[in-house]
Amino acid sequence: MISGALFLVSSESGAQQETGGFYLITNPAGATACLDGEYDIITNTPARLPSNLSGNYEAKISLPGYENWKGQLVFAAGMSNDIEINLSRKTPLKASLRSLFIPGWGQYYSGNSMRGGLYMMGAAISAAGLYFADKNYQDKRADFDIAAQAYAEARSAEQAILLKPVKDTAQRVAYKAEDDRRTVFYIGVGIWTLNVLDAVLFFPDNKVILPSVSASDGGVMLNYQVEF
């Protein structure tokens, strides 16, 4: 089997004048097509492919702002055929749904890999922080339960007086550990929520106009506009 790489430069008008071969079209045009088979072909669409192609080719077609298309194309030598592939546009909704399940995924999806990495890192750190904060709370709560039980089982007033400060201190420490756990949890929720909003509001090609306040005789008016 002969293998090789073909780099084709497409020309829509020139491709239409040629006869024979396979005409690869994408909607919209301008995508990069990579075909892996007997030959390795890389071209921009629309493009006329060589007429001697035959067999199965694994194809990957990509265009910024659109979903990657992957599939198998079958060619038969000596035949000509137009291959038209419709690409699905990436949307803020798809990005937000990804970020809803995995923080940063929506940013990676829309091409913002740096922000996606930051959100993933922030979510991982908050998850680790929540684990250790919960473990610390469970330990402090166990200490309080032991101190409270010892105080409740005191056999004399003198013993109760000695054990009460121990119980009260253990209770304050347990309350603080619970507050710390709650704080870390809210931070994690905040990162998760911000990551979803970021995936929508800062999606490429979105036009976001921040709110502005204007005053008039009738009062204060808030103006804003968000386009997707």
Whole-angstrom distance between the N-terminal and C-terminal Cα of the chain?
50
Question: Is the pTM here over 0.75, yes or no?
Answer: no
Predicted local distance difference test score (pLDDT) of residue 226: 46
* Rounded distance between C-alpha atoms, residue 151 and residue 159, angstroms: 8
Residue 6 has pLDDT above 50, yes or no: no
SS3 call for 80: coil
Q: Is 5-86 CATH 2.60.40?
A: yes
Lowest mean pLDDT among 5-14, 28-37, 40-49, 213-222: 5-14
Report the percent of the chain where pLDDT is more than 90. 56
Report yes or no: 223 and 212 within 8 Å, Cβ to Cβ. Answer: yes
- pLDDT > 70 fraction of the chain, expressed in percent and rounded: 79
Beta carbons within 8 Å of 169's beta carbon, 6+ residues apart? 147
Q: Tell me the domain boundaries of the chain.
A: 5-86, 94-222
Structure tokens, 47: 């493009």
* Residue 130: per-residue pLDDT: 96
Give the residue from 86, 84, 111, 106 showing the smallest Cα distance to 95: 106
Per-residue confidence (pLDDT) for residue 61, from 0 to 100: 93
CA distances (Å), origin 43, targets 40, 52, 134: 10, 16, 55
Q: CA-CA distance, 5 to 121, in Å (whole number)?
A: 39
Which of 63, 67, 61, 93 shows the shortest CA–CA distance to 206? 93
Residue pLDDT, tens place only, 141-181: 999 999 999 999 988 888 999 999 999 999 999 999 999 99
In this structure, the number of other CB atoms found within 10 A of the CB of residue 181 comes to 21
Which pLDDT band, with edges at 50, 70 and 90, does 80 fall under? low
pLDDT tens sequence across 91-145: 999 999 999 999 999 999 988 899 999 999 999 999 999 999 999 999 999 999 9
- pLDDT recorded at residue 74: 86
